[in-house]
Structure 1
Amino acid sequence: MLKSLLTRLRPAPTAVFEDPRPDATFAVIGDVHGRLDLLEGLLAKLPDGVPVVCVGDYIDRGPQSIETLRFLKDRPDITCLKGNHEDMLLSFIKEPEEKGPRWIRNGGLQTLADLGVRGLSEMTRGMKLREARNTLVKEMGEDLVKWVEDLPLIRWSGNIAVVHAGADPAVPIEDNPPKTLIWGHRDFMTTPRQDGWWVAHGHTIVDEAIVSEGRISLDTGAFATGRLTAAVIAPEGIELIAT
């Protein structure tokens, strides 16, 4: 019993991370949040021909959410992952009365305002939410809604996984449920993984991009700071590029 207690109290071994080693050079872009202007500017700064992965959260809070979705849908050369804001939008479409208030208070209000839908709040109920959903679906169109629904959750390259929000550090990345990859895990930012995998992600706002302890954190709060950040991850190292 004493041995078991000492085992539990003993600090976890320090994680040792090899350098990020992708299969080939690629770029990862952090949360866009309706800043299509920043996205276009950042793409122009990236090296020609380098594959690009966006980590999700293309909508809400910024001024051009639906335009950003349309732009990305028309760029099959860019791999787009699903973020929690896309997840909230889809939930609102399916269940506007139940899911609408949560989305509205987390940036959906700005997205709907872009479409001319105003006078809503997180306390809105009933007919107004259904009407807002109908306007949103009409403006997006079935093809764009389906594109958002089908967004993948993860991309792999070498010893790097790209997700939106993070992963449970105690569980193999591939075994994390979709909710964790989209919404995050309470231990992700504080507990290094022990398996040597690097995770490139957004979701959690940082002042500047961070490459440390197996995490490549790229959400620099573009909607508020005007700074959208990418990491160009090459076999020889990582270059951070921002607007």
Structure 2
Amino acid sequence: MDEKKYRRILAVSDIHGQKKYFLKVLEQSQYDPSQDLLIIAGDSLDRGEDNIGSFELCQNLHKNGAIFLKGNHEQMLEENLQKMLADTNWKKRPPEELLIWFTYNGGSKTLNEIKDFSVTNLTQLFFYIRAMPTHFVIDDYIFAHAGINPAKELAENTTKDFIWGLRDFYAHPAYVGKTVIFGHTPTFYLPNAPKRISDSLIWHDPIHHDKIDIDCGCVFGGRLACLELPSLQEYYCS
């Protein structure tokens, strides 16, 4: 795909159910689907106040040309939907994976929003998530929720590499001539980050200059960020 067919690329990640901020940052950036390519780099839901609403907004944007990538939270929902569909008594005897997602990984609010869905709706949601792409490449940019494993060729990276990533991925050089745009790790955890979470900024790799982290931890008290390419203009909302 040729970047030059678009006026610009806009990238957002880790919305985590913060639909109102997502709408605001799209408005700030003046996103126009007829001219711009929007890339949503995963984790549209969990932890936030409007998780399914955020997911459905991303679905609708995808119908109008946006790229909607799978993150680890979409994958966790996919895995738990499979368990729920396989056991009609899941509410009475929730499987261990469901309890872990519910208790430790921010799934409680999402589960509360889908617990009364019909089997048909749960099935549709499951198959939609299962078909979501894990990465997207356009010209010199690679987009993936958690980045890549630079020790492998891009084609050899696994779903786990793209959506869970390496713990210290940001510390290693990526691929020559490519810039990796990712989320998953809030930028306030990375070197040279602002001291206050509320001041979180998009992180540009200061050493290798080949990675950009756009997860500014909105759901944790940071900000929802949007990166414009190739200009590198940044938009924030909180």
Q: Same fold (TM over 0.5)?
A: yes
- Report the counterpart of residue 67 of structure 2 in structure 1: 79
Matched, 1:112 2:108: no
Give the equivalent residue in structure 2 for 1:211: 204
- Mapped contact 1:73–1:147 kept (Cα < 8 A): no
Offset, 1:148: 1.8
Root-mean-square deviation (CA, aligned residues, Å) is: 2.1
**Residues in 1 aligned to 2:179 and 2:220: alpha-carbon distance in whole angstroms:** 27
How far is the alpha carbon of 1:166 from its aligned partner?
Answer: 1.1
Runs of 4+ in 1 over 6 A off after TM superposition: none
Shift in alpha-carbon separation, 1:70–1:184, aligned structure 2, 3 A: same
Contact kept? 2:41, 2:182, Cα under 8 Å? yes
Could you tell me how far apart the structure 1 residues matched to 2:175 and 2:143 are? 17
Unaligned runs of 5+ in 1: 1-20, 116-131
Is 1:38 paired with 2:36? no
Distance in 2 of aligned mates of 1:180 and 1:85: 14
Query: Partner of 2:221 in structure 1?
Result: 225
**Which residues of 2 match residues 142-181 of structure 1 at below 5 A?**
142-181=123-162
CA offset at residue 210 of structure 1? 1.0
TM-score, normalised to structure 1, is 0.76
Deviation at 1:155, TM superposition (A): 0.9
Partner of 1:120: none
Q: Which digits, 9 at most, give the CA deviation of each residue in 1:124-170, with x for residues without a partner?
A: xxxxxxxx5xx356595433332222111111111110000011122
Aligned to 2:101: 103
| 1: CA distance, partners of 2:100 / 2:118 | 18
Q: Which has the higher contact order (CA 8 A, sep 6+)?
A: 1
Q: Does structure 1 residue 199 correspond to structure 2 residue 193?
A: no
What SS does the corresponding residue of 2:169 show, helix, strand or coil? coil
Normalised TM-score (structure 2): 0.78
Residues 148 and 157 in structure 2, CA contact (< 8 A), matched pair in contact too: yes
Assess if the C-alpha contact under 8 Å between 1:73 and 1:144 holds in 2. no
What corresponds to 2:39 in structure 1?
A: 53
Bigger Rg, structure 1 or 2 = 1
Across the two proteins, how many residue pairs are aligned to each other? 203
**C-alpha deviations, 1:84-138, integer Å up to 9, x for none?**
00100111112351321221110001222345xxxxxxxxxxxxxxxx5xx3565
Q: Give the CA deviation at 1:194.
A: 5.0
Does residue 242 of the first structure (1) align with residue 236 of the second (2)? Answer: yes
Change (3 A) 1:93 1:114: closer
Secondary structure of the 1:95 match is helix
The alignment partner of 2:137 has SS state of: strand
1:171-217 superposed Cα distances (whole Å, 9 cap, x missing partner) = 12221111110111133111122523211011000131112231110
Q: Distance in 1 between matches of 2:184 and 2:157?
A: 16
Q: Percent of pairs identical after alignment?
A: 26
Change (3 A) 1:161 1:194: closer
8 A contact 2:225–2:235 mirrored in 1 = yes
* Structure 1 Cα separation of the partners of residues 79 and 127 of structure 2: 13
User: Where does residue 89 of structure 2 map in the other structure?
Assistant: none
Contact 1:169 1:187 in 2 (8 A): no
The answer for unaligned runs of 5 or more in structure 2 is 85-94, 188-199
